[in-house]
Amino acid sequence: MSPSPEELKEASIKLFRELHENKKRNEAQEEEYRRLLELHGHEIISHPELLKKKKEEKTEYAVNPVFAKDIKAIIADYKEKTGKEPEQTEQGVVLAFNKQEDAISFFKEQSSKGRAFDMYCAAKDHRVYSDGKGLFVHGTRKEVGEYLKKPEDFELGKDGKLTKKEEPTDAPSQQL
């Protein structure tokens, strides 16, 4: 399925915005910048907010200090994998990711290395948990908390995603 004209336009404006922010464009980038300016210039002048990046919710996972013994190894892998330093906030140490999927992939890999952790992204109500013994789960804070108390109430996806099982409904009684 090919992208819609609206998706193509959005991608084109996004590229223009990136080129616009890059003041050290090479010759090919400058040529593309001018082409996009000619194509979208009128719209950008009419709607200058198009040049502003869309605000995305942050995907930042706060470290639960209970699992401090493995956190140094996790942070070392985080630095190597992302090239970023963890952030220090009022929540404590925070690991930031571009997308939630990137975080899930990273933490699943950490779990496979036998590392225990309990991380939470408040902006997306997303918790990732590993017991360090092969169990890796993720879901909302409530789902993971309920799973840890009663795992039999949940189905566990291949990537560790939790899905609450349907409540069995009582069959209607038959009347004779």
- Do 19 and 85 lie in one domain? The reply is no
- Rounded Cα distance between 152 and 167, Å, is 12
- Do 123 and 148 lie in one domain? The reply is yes
**What is the β-pairing status of strands 162-164 and 154-156?**
antiparallel
Domains contained in the chain, number: 2
Is the predicted pLDDT of residue 36 greater than 90, yes or no? no
- Do 63 and 86 lie in one domain? The reply is yes
pLDDT digits (tens, 9 = 90+) for 64-118: 877 667 899 999 999 999 889 998 888 788 999 988 999 999 999 999 999 999 9
Tell me whether residue 42 is in a domain.
yes
- Do 17 and 87 lie in one domain? The reply is no
**Main-chain phi, psi angles of 74, to 5 degrees:** -65, -45
Tell me whether residue 170 is in a domain.
no
Is the predicted pLDDT of residue 171 greater than 70, yes or no? no
Tell me whether residue 65 is in a domain.
yes
Tell me whether residue 171 is in a domain.
no
- Rounded Cα distance between 127 and 120, Å, is 4
Q: For 140-165, what is the mean pLDDT?
A: 94
- Do 14 and 80 lie in one domain? The reply is no
- Do 82 and 142 lie in one domain? The reply is yes
- Do 140 and 112 lie in one domain? The reply is yes
Name 97's Cβ contacts closer than 8 Å, sequence gap at least 6.
Answer: 59, 60, 61, 82, 103, 106
Tell me whether residue 124 is in a domain.
yes
Q: Which domain holds residue 108?
A: 59-164
Average pLDDT taken over every residue of the chain: 86
- Do 65 and 128 lie in one domain? The reply is yes
Tell me whether residue 176 is in a domain.
no
- Rounded Cα distance between 71 and 26, Å, is 41
Residue 127 bridge partners (DSSP): 120, 139
- Do 43 and 122 lie in one domain? The reply is no
- Do 20 and 84 lie in one domain? The reply is no
Tell me whether residue 106 is in a domain.
yes
- Rounded Cα distance between 52 and 108, Å, is 34
Tell me whether residue 169 is in a domain.
no
- Do 78 and 156 lie in one domain? The reply is yes
> Where among 28, 51, 74 does a domain terminate?
51
- Do 42 and 86 lie in one domain? The reply is no
- Rounded Cα distance between 69 and 80, Å, is 19
